[in-house]
């Protein structure tokens, strides 16, 4: 699981880790990570003074981040604590069973997920000609602290990845990050981390139990009752949520965070070697030998090494083709990140990020994937890595040709200029409009072309202003208006917002084919 919470006040995180002695305790391993760390000269173990300075927005480059308040003081949000908690079965085998390989697998899975988060969520604001946009920077500065116990003194392998509120823009300036992207991707990051961990655990000889729907994994060798017996901290949180009539699945992120804080005991320092011996004894008393589970995994690796090697490349290529086909059915082009996400959902626990990247490179060299930068949804001034397919290119050529043939296809538009402006003025009497909405509505109503395309970001009220006005005017002038959308949810939004009878494109084409078959 991954939890994510903002670090609000300067010095809060530094004091927290200092209080819990994260810098001196031998079992805590710290490390600077992220593409933003190198330009700041940060590497190796985390130093307390460097950590505090970065969180306060005081960078080694001389930059000071934040804003000056009315009292002349600098206000700066520190960053975000993204905590990667290994599944309980991993913690038991790694810590009670002494399998150092699993600890390394956890760390590598954390780093791979942070690499992905940098690509997806490292975002800052930039002002262009007086308008504010968001820029993907692709770099975070992260202080990683690995720990091995819960506050209830149960084995709990986890890593605090403290993402500092600083990122380097393309123009060479350091700026604060747009942290909402980090919070938004918490669920996807959890799935990404657990996928990487599942793949690595299998490579170490463990059989894994996968919950593909939820994107979670556990070692099959560790029974549920054993995992529960070593989950006192988790049980306390769930009891707190139950008192509110909630579960982890139904509670909001805020409610889960509150339950965590309200049930949190002070950390107790204990000798790591003594704790591990206690965990081993407790597990054996419950009928489970964690060291035996580790030795069996090693035996299984040796057996697998003697077996014929399957054509792994063919397997991953077939999986990638399935993911590409899935995306290409819905869009002529798609982001590279969407392709990785589709692989993670369809083939959870089967392929690591590295194998997928290699398969993507093979598809590109063979011409099955064609590089095509895709405009981001939030910033029309920026594009990110994406792909199309030969079939997608052909569809686009057909669409462009159809658009060309449709230019000036009609002698008049849905409405004349005066009638269009009157319809817009009437709509504005109840809902505020902006210039872009007026231009879009008037352009559609007066166009003589067969096809008219309008592009707008989510939340720009295209449906409730532009499309509702166009459909109302079209119906008044004798047109039958039908709404088509790529999904059932989108068709409901279109129908409710534009007041137009709507359905999915798939169902419409099905009805059309049925009518053609019947000769209608």
**pLDDT digit string, tens, across residues 474-495:** 888 888 889 888 788 888 888 8
Is 73 buried (19+), middle (13-18) or exposed (0-12) by CB count in 10 A? exposed
User: What is the predicted pLDDT for the residue at 175?
Assistant: 92
pLDDT at 236 over 70: no
What is d(CA 59, CA 128) in angstroms, rounded to the nearest whole number? 25
Higher-confidence position of 271 and 518: 518
Higher pLDDT pick, 412 / 270: 412
Confidence of residue 362 (pLDDT cuts 50, 70, 90): very high
pLDDT of residue 381: 61
Is it the case that residue 110 has pLDDT exceeding 80? yes
For residue 38, pLDDT beyond 90: yes
Distance CA 319, CA 316 (A): 5
Distance CA 36, CA 163 (A): 10
Cβ within 8 Å of residue 165, ≥6 positions away: 55, 57, 65, 76, 77, 78, 79, 80, 176, 177, 179
The answer to whether residues 26 and 272 touch, using CB atoms and an 8 Å cutoff, is: yes
> How large is the average pLDDT for residues 175-202?
91
* DSSP 3-state of 3: strand
Going by pLDDT thresholds of 50, 70 and 90, the confidence category of residue 120 is confident
Q: Which two tokens stand for residue 237?
A: 């949180």
pLDDT (0 to 100) of residue 11: 54
Mean pLDDT value of segment 499-520:
84
pLDDT per residue over 247-306, tens digit each?
656 666 566 656 555 555 555 566 778 888 888 888 888 888 989 999 999 999 888 777
Give the span between the Cα atoms of 367 and 173, in whole angstroms.
Answer: 38
Q: What are the tokens at 82?
A: 């993204």
pLDDT in the model for residue 270: 64
The predicted-structure confidence for 339-358, as pLDDT tens digits, reads as follows 988 898 889 999 998 899 99
Residue pointed to by tokens 């995306």? 327
Where does 312-402 sit in CATH, by number? 1.10.10.10
pLDDT higher than threshold 90 for residue 206 = yes
| pLDDT on residue 134 | 80
Please state which CATH number belongs to domain 410-517: 3.40.50.300
The C-alpha atoms of residue 217 and residue 210 are separated, in whole angstroms, by 5
Greater model confidence, 361 or 250: 361
**Residue 211, number of CB atoms within 10 A of its CB:** 12
Query: Where along the chain do its domains lie?
Result: 2-283, 312-402, 410-517
The predicted structure's pLDDT at residue 364:
94
Of the chain, the percentage scoring pLDDT greater than 70 comes to: 86
Q: Residue 17 pLDDT more than 70? A: no
- If you average pLDDT over residues 223-237, what whole number do you get? 77
| Tokens 């000056």 -> residue | 68
What average pLDDT score do residues 419-428 get? 86
Dihedral angle, C-alpha 265, 267, 273, 277, nearest 10 °: 0
* CB 26, CB 147: distance < 8 Å: no
Rg over alpha carbons for the chain, rounded to the nearest Å, is: 28
Task: Tell me what percent of the residues of the chain surpass a pLDDT of 90.
Answer: 32
Instruction: Read off the pLDDT of residues 43-97 as tens digits, 9 standing for 90 and up.
Output: 999 988 899 899 988 999 999 888 877 777 777 888 999 999 999 999 999 999 9
Q: Mean of the per-residue pLDDT values for the chain?
A: 84
- Select the more confidently predicted residue: 412 or 240: 412
Q: Assess contact for 19 and 103: CB atoms under 8 A.
A: no
126-150 exposure pattern, b = at least 16 Cβ within 10 A, e = fewer: beeeeeeebbbbbbbbbbbbbbbbb
At residue 406 the predicted structure's pLDDT band, cuts being 50, 70 and 90, is: confident
Name the phi and psi angles at 142, rounded to 5: -125, 130
Give per-residue pLDDT as tens, 435-447.
888 888 888 888 8
pLDDT band at 41 (very low <50, low <70, confident <90, very high): very high
Mean pLDDT of 201-229: 92
Instruction: Identify the top-confidence range among 7-16, 187-196, 408-417.
Output: 187-196
**Three-state SS for 329?**
coil
Indicate if the pLDDT at residue 116 is higher than 60. Answer: yes
- Predicted pLDDT at 455: 73
């Amino acid at each position: 699981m991954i939890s994510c919470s903002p670090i609000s006040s300067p010095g809060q995180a530094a004091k927290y880790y200092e209080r819990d002695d994260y810098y001196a305790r031998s079992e805590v391993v710290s490390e600077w990570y992220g593409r933003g760390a190198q330009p700041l000269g940060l590497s190796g173990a985390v130093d307390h003074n460097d950590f505090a300075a970065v969180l306060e927005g005081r960078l080694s480059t001389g930059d000071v981040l934040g804003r000056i308040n009315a009292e002349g003081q600098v206000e700066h949000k520190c960053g975000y604590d993204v905590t990667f908690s290994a599944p309980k079965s991993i913690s038991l085998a790694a810590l009670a069973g002494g399998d150092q390989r699993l600890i390394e697998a956890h760390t590598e899975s954390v780093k791979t997920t942070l690499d992905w988060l940098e690509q997806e969520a490292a975002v800052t604001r930039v002002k262009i000609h007086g308008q504010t946009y968001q820029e993907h920077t692709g770099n975070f500065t992260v202080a990683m602290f690995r720990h091995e116990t819960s506050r209830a003194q149960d084995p709990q392998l986890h890593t605090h990845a403290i993402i500092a509120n600083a990122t380097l823009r393309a123009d060479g300036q350091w700026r604060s990050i747009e942290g909402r992207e980090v919070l938004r991707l918490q669920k996807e990051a959890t799935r990404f981390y657990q996928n990487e961990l599942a793949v690595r655990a299998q490579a170490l000889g463990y059989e894994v139990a996968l919950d593909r729907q939820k994107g979670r994994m556990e070692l099959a060798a560790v029974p549920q009752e054993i995992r529960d017996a070593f989950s006192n901290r988790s049980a306390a949180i769930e009891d707190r949520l139950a008192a509110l009539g909630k579960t982890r699945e139904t509670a909001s992120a805020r409610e889960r965070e509150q339950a965590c804080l309200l049930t949190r005991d002070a950390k107790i320092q204990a000798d790591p070697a003594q704790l591990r011996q206690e965990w081993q004894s407790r597990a054996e008393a419950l009928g489970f030998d964690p060291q035996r589970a580790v030795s069996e995994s090693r035996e299984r690796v040796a057996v697998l090494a003697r077996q014929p090697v399957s054509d792994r490349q063919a397997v991953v290529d077939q999986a990638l083709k399935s993911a590409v086909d899935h995306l290409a059915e819905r869009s002529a082009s798609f982001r590279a990140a969407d392709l990785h996400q589709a692989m993670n959902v369809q083939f959870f626990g089967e392929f690591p990020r590295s194998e997928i990247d290699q398969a993507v490179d093979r598809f590109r060299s063979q011409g099955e994937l064609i590089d095509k930068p895709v405009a981001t949804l939030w910033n029309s001034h920026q594009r990110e890595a994406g792909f199309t397919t030969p079939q997608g290119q052909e569809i686009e050529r057909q669409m462009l040709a159809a658009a060309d043939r449709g230019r000036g296809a009609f002698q008049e538009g849905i409405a004349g200029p005066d009638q269009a402006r009157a319809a817009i003025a009437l709509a504005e009497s109840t809902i505020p409009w902006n210039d872009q909405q007026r231009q879009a509505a008037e352009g559609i109503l007066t166009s003589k072309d067969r096809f008219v395309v309008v592009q707008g970001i989510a939340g720009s009220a295209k449906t409730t202003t532009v499309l509702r006005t166009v459909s109302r005017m079209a119906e008044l002038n004798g047109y039958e208006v039908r709404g088509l959308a790529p999904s059932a949810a989108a068709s409901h939004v279109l129908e409710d917002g534009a007041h137009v009878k709507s359905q999915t494109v798939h169902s419409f084409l099905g009805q059309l084919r049925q009518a053609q078959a019947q000769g209608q």
